Amino acid sequence: MGGFSIWHILIFAIILLLLFGGNRFSAMMGDVAKGLKSFKAGMADEDEDKRRRYDEQRKAEPRQLPRDQEPIDVTPHSSEPAAPPPPRDDEAR
Q: What is the pLDDT of residue 36?
A: 92
H or E element in which residue 42 lies? helix 22-60
68, part of any domain: no
Q: Which domain holds residue 31?
A: 22-61
46, part of any domain: yes
86, part of any domain: no
Number of independent structural domains in the chain: 1
pLDDT in tens, 18-69: 887 777 777 888 898 999 999 888 888 888 888 888 888 878 776 666 667 7
The more confidently predicted of residues 26 and 11 is 11
32, part of any domain: yes
**CA geometry: angle at 30 spanning 5 and 9, to 5°?**
5
